[in-house]
């Protein structure tokens, strides 16, 4: 029997070699194969759980036709021709054309944008908007906790239902697994429509990998107001913006871009329920009083036509003066690192702001393993004193990106994410002011002191960096 298991232990790596090599990039393949060769059975089980891209694909022909129908509505199809009247039209148009191939959504002008960097204020404003809702409330969140924040938002939705407002709540089955056990049935009993995305259950017909998650954060009220960004519905230590506290950044949007965000919710609702929403009030005539041009960019494993990583690289190559990035998790792949390296070498100031202490030890160590190369390229690294959870990028005060995606493999290729591309100097300056505030709350990394770290710490980070393709 021992010989039999030894033979199987050798057969597993040999059989998995062509499978892994065919379905992944060389870096990811090498990481998986090292794991499988050293621990064949553990590696095989982990690969079957989180290595295969078996996603819930319920996009039937009828669904695709309906999505195309909604996306083709004339009043939602205003594209970058609207940028011609802007003072900074030349630069905006160039960046608009640069980002065009990476998303199916057009640029929509005349939007109102408000940046909210205090988590408690976000909840206050969201609850107030729910309390004033007249037609519907749609919430889509990776994490919706059964805590004081989650219960407060849920109570506002229950009261809205009692007024005749239709409320729908959509959560990720893993990120919100606690509230699904303790709160979901109560919400449905009060008339709130509830669904969960991507249940990781091997006994379901539509199997989903454990690491393929819907990481989006989106709230829509009456088709006229939308919130998105980095904040979940959960209690965190925001503490009035204290530097050492938790920091999120949300954007409150009004105007026609809300209808595009509504479409993202409708698509995810269909994926979870196989019901296409057709309420008359979902797509009202928008308010055109704003000045911001926005492109909505949903990305994720269910839509391979969008590649968030490639868009980020494209705008990095398009930068002329300055790039500022904020992310709680920074695990770049080789193309992303090369783009930052070349941008810094051609004289672009590149500022990277990440937490000094990550909430995941291994992720923080892997991020630090890339510092030496970034420092040599001239990238300025700022270590924030708190837990900076904002996910943003600004380019030359002309393009801003804010959303749910981190700068890592999971957000770029595995998770369903939602980003807003903001075009124009006014709205980008608004985002950049928040980023500069984060820099003021940070300690700039000293290259000399960093190179004097102990050999043990450097070796630890370099070894853990081998896990980059899997994180």
| pLDDT digits 0-9 by tens, 218-272 | 999 999 999 999 999 999 888 766 777 889 999 999 999 999 999 999 989 988 8
Q: Is the dihedral of CA 56, 58, 59, 63 positive or negative?
A: negative
Q: What is the DSSP string of 322-386?
A: EEEEE-S-B---HHHHHHHHHHHHTT-EEEEEEESS-SSHHHHHHHHTTHHHHHHHT-EEEEESS
Name the percent of the chain lying above pLDDT 70.
74
Residue whose entry in the numeric block shows the structure tokens 């992303």 = 336
Q: Please list the residues that pair with 113 across neighbouring strands.
A: 253
Q: Choose the weakest-confidence range: 59-68, 126-135, 390-399.
A: 59-68
Q: CA-based Rg of the chain, rounded to a whole angstrom?
A: 23
Report CA-CA distances (Å) from 6 to 13, 19, 41, 47.
12, 21, 11, 20
**Token pair listed for 38:** 């050293």
| Contacts with 11 (C-beta within 8 Å, 6 or more apart), sequence order | none
**What does the alpha-carbon distance between residue 108 and residue 306 come to, in Å, rounded to a whole number?**
18
Highest mean pLDDT among 107-111, 302-306, 457-461: 107-111
Domain ranges of the chain: 2-50, 61-82+114-290, 308-470
Q: At 449, which helix (H) or strand (E)?
A: helix 447-451
pLDDT band at 115 (very low <50, low <70, confident <90, very high): very high
Q: Are 413 and 51 in contact (CB under 8 A)?
A: no
CATH topology of domain 61-82+114-290: Endonuclease; Chain A (3.30.870)
Q: For the chain, what is the mean pLDDT? A: 82
Task: HSE, CB side, 13 Å, CA atoms: give it for residue 2.
Answer: 0
Q: Are 364 and 328 in contact (CB under 8 A)?
A: no
Question: Whole-prediction pTM value?
Answer: 0.83
**Among candidate residues 299, 229, 224, the one with its CA nearest the CA of residue 264:** 299
Fold identical between 61-82+114-290 and 308-470?
yes
Q: What CATH architecture applies to the domain 308-470? A: 2-Layer Sandwich (3.30)
**pLDDT score of 21:** 55
**What does the alpha-carbon distance between residue 381 and residue 363 come to, in Å, rounded to a whole number?**
16
Q: What is the DSSP string of 71-86?
A: HT-GGG---GGGGGGS
Strands 322-326 and 442-444: unpaired
**pLDDT score of 64:** 47
């Amino acid at each position: 029997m021992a010989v039999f298991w030894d033979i199987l232990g050798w057969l597993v790596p040999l059989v998995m070699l062509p499978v892994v090599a065919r379905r992944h990039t060389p870096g990811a393949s090498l990481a998986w194969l090292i794991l499988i060769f050293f621990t064949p059975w553990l590696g095989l089980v982990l690969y079957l759980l989180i290595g295969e891209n078996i996603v819930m694909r319920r996009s039937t022909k009828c669904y695709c036709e309906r999505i195309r129908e909604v996306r083709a509505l004339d009043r939602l199809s205003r594209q970058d021709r609207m940028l011609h009247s802007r003072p900074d039209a030349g630069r905006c148009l160039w960046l608009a054309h640069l980002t065009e191939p990476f998303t199916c959504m057009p640029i929509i002008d005349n939007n109102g944008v408000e940046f909210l960097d205090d988590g408690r204020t976000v909840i206050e404003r969201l609850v107030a908007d729910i309390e004033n809702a007249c037609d519907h409330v749609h919430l889509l969140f990776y994490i919706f906790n059964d805590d004081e924040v989650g219960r407060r938002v849920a109570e506002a939705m229950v009261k809205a239902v009692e007024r005749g407002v239709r409320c729908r709540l959509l959560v990720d089955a893993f990120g919100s697994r606690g509230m699904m056990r303790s709160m979901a049935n109560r919400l449905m009993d009060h008339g709130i429509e509830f669904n969960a995305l991507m249940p990781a259950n091997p006994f379901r017909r539509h199997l989903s990998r454990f690491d393929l998650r819907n990481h989006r954060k989106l709230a829509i009220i009456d088709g006229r107001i939308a919130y998105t960004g980095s904040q979940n519905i959960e209690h965190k230590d925001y503490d009035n913006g204290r530097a050492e506290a938790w920091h999120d950044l949300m954007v409150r949007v009004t105007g026609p871009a809300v209808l595009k965000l509504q479409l993202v919710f409708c698509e995810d609702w269909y994926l979870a329920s196989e019901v296409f929403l057709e309420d008359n009030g979902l797509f009202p005539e928008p308010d055109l009083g704003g000045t911001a041009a926005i492109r909505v960019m949903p990305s994720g494993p269910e839509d391979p036509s969008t590649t968030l990583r490639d868009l980020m690289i494209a705008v990095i190559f398009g930068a002329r003066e300055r790039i500022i990035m904020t992310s709680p998790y920074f695990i770049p792949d080789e193309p992303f690192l090369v783009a930052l390296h070349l941008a810094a070498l051609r004289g672009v100031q590149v500022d990277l702001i990440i937490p000094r202490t990550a909430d995941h030890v291994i992720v923080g160590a892997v991020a630090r393993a890339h510092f030496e190369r970034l420092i040599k390229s001239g990238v300025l690294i700022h270590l924030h004193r708190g837990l900076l959870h904002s996910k943003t990028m600004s380019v030359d005060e002309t393009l801003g990106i804010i959303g749910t995606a981190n700068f890592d493999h999971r957000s770029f290729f595995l998770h369903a994410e939602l980003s807003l591309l903001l075009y124009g100097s006014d709205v980008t300056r608004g985002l950049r002011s928040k980023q500069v505030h984060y820099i003021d709350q940070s300690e700039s990394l000293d290259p000399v002191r960093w190179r004097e770290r102990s050999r043990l710490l450097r070796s630890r980070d370099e070894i853990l960096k081998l896990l980059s393709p899997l994180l």
